């Protein structure tokens, strides 16, 4: 496992082989993918929710066409939340607009590396994607969730949602040996008017054994959850999990490091 992770990191840190294209990244998970491929120096603009200190180019659903044109990109990457035809229509004449996926499966996360690498003309695009595929599977196998029934929650307060089938996190935690207890397709929103409105009821209904919450500091809000049967509530860093990108390797390392919190019967 360590050898695979080392190889993955070396590939991540190496400079792009081809000339650096001017890139607009419209979503944070795309920026993380570009960084892992060593393409961060090529980024000239980012979406409004990104943290890089670069010109902002609007949101995923409402890109700023004027700013994008001023940046004169050669490659533009956006998430599939925006229709591909609309994204392509926003591209300046010299730019190629590419739509990326990633939210349905880990296979899509792997494929994003291939698509971006080819678009940027990286000679080793396939090798980089293959190294990530090997690394995340090896890291997931090391977790050994032993079939424990888990819920994957965005938060403990407000209007949280639970990740179900056909999400990258369902794939990731299943490969780590857990049983994802959520039976909804993609996301179940917990809010007034829904069939299930609170986390405690959901945990009881799905017979969960562990709640994983993707917040760094969730103790105060999570303490208010009152399932009928007490169960561990483990806070995980959402920055490591909520982006369908190679930074999920850091999430798997965090999951392993917190074993003592979730493995107790």
The predicted-structure confidence for 42-67, as pLDDT tens digits, reads as follows 999 999 999 999 999 999 999 999 99
Mean pLDDT of the chain: 91
End-to-end CA distance of the chain: 27
Beta bridge partners of 150: 180, 210
Domains along the chain?
2-140 (3.40.50.1980), 145-262 (3.40.50.1980)
Note the Cα 39 to chain centre separation in Å. Answer: 18
Beta bridge partners of 24: 45, 76
- Report the C-alpha gap between 105 and 69 in whole angstroms: 32
Which H or E run contains 211? strand 210-213
pLDDT in tens, 82-139: 999 999 999 999 999 999 999 999 999 999 999 999 999 999 999 999 999 999 999 9
- Report the C-alpha gap between 151 and 214 in whole angstroms: 11
Contact 261, 231 (CB under 8 A): no
């Amino acid at each position: 496992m360590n050898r695979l992770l080392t190889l993955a990191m070396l590939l991540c840190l190496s400079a792009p082989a081809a000339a650096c294209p001017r890139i607009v990244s419209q979503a944070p998970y795309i920026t993380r993918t570009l960084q892992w491929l060593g393409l961060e120096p090529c980024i000239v603009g980012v979406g409004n929710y990104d943290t890089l200190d670069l010109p902002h180019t609007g949101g995923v659903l409402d890109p700023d066409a004027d700013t994008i044109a001023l940046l004169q990109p050669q490659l533009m990457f956006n998430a599939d939340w925006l229709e591909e035809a609309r994204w392509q229509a926003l591209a300046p004449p010299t730019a190629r607009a590419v739509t990326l996926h990633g939210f349905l499966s880990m296979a899509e996360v792997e494929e994003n590396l291939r698509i971006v690498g080819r678009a940027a003309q990286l000679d080793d695009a396939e090798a980089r994607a293959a190294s990530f595929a090997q690394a995340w599977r090896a890291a997931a196998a090391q977790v050994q969730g032993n079939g424990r029934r888990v819920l994957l929650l965005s938060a403990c307060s407000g209007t949280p949602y639970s990740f179900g089938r056909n999400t990258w996190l369902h794939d990731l935690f299943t490969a780590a040996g857990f049983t994802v207890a959520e039976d909804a397709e993609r996301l179940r929103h917990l809010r007034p008017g829904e069939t299930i409105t609170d986390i405690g009821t959901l945990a009881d209904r799905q017979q969960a054994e562990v709640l994983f919450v993707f917040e760094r500091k969730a103790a105060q809000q999570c303490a208010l959850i009152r399932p009928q049967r007490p169960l561990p509530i483990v806070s995980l860093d959402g920055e490591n999990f909520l982006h369908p990108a190679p930074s999920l390797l850091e999430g798997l390392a965090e999951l392993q490091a917190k074993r003592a919190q979730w493995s107790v019967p």
